[in-house]
């Protein structure tokens, strides 16, 4: 399996179908707006969300009480590694090794930052 071609299908927010509502009523510790995650952060799925593989959609989805977010391949690969144990640096390293790619750190950081704004990911 390979990550999608970064030039045409990176982990940009507009390539993720659906949006978790900011008004989802979920209260949890979140980074302040404008705080970019560092590579030492250990992201995990946010409270109230559940990541799962959906065979009917042939992709990972993020379930929450009001609905579902269909993730593209890159987003799913990042999210399934966000277990609160791995740092972003470890996630990047694992993705680069798994998909024989280099230079993924910027894309991963951008996705994690966007996912935190949507409350899909959190960290302490």
Average pLDDT over residues 87-98: 98
pLDDT, tens digit (0-9, with 9 covering 90-100), for 32-54:
444 679 999 999 999 999 999 99
How high is the pLDDT of residue 20? Answer: 39
- Please determine, for residue 11, whether its predicted confidence score (pLDDT) is greater than 90: no
Q: How far is the C-alpha of 124 from the C-alpha of 122, rounded, in Å?
A: 7
How high is the pLDDT of residue 35? Answer: 67
pLDDT, tens digit (0-9, with 9 covering 90-100), for 52-82:
999 999 999 999 999 999 999 999 999 999 9
How high is the pLDDT of residue 55? Answer: 97
Q: Which residues, 6+ apart, have CB-to-CB distance to 53 below 8 Å?
A: 59, 60, 61
Q: Model pTM?
A: 0.74
The SS3 call for residue 67 is strand
How high is the pLDDT of residue 24? Answer: 35
């Amino acid at each position: 399996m390979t990550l999608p071609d970064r030039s045409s299908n990176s982990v940009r927010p507009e390539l993720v179908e659906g949006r978790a509502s900011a008004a989802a009523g979920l209260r949890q510790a979140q980074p302040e707006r404008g705080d970019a995650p560092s590579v030492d952060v250990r992201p995990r799925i946010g409270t109230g969300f559940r990541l799962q593989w959906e065979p009917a959609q042939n992709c990972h989805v993020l379930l929450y009480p009001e609905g579902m977010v269909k993730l593209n391949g890159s987003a799913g690969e990042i999210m399934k590694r966000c277990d609160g144990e791995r740092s972003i640096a470890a996630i990047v390293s694992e993705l680069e090794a798994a998909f024989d790619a280099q230079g993924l750190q910027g894309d991963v950081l951008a996705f994690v930052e966007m996912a935190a704004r949507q409350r899909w990911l959190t960290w302490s």
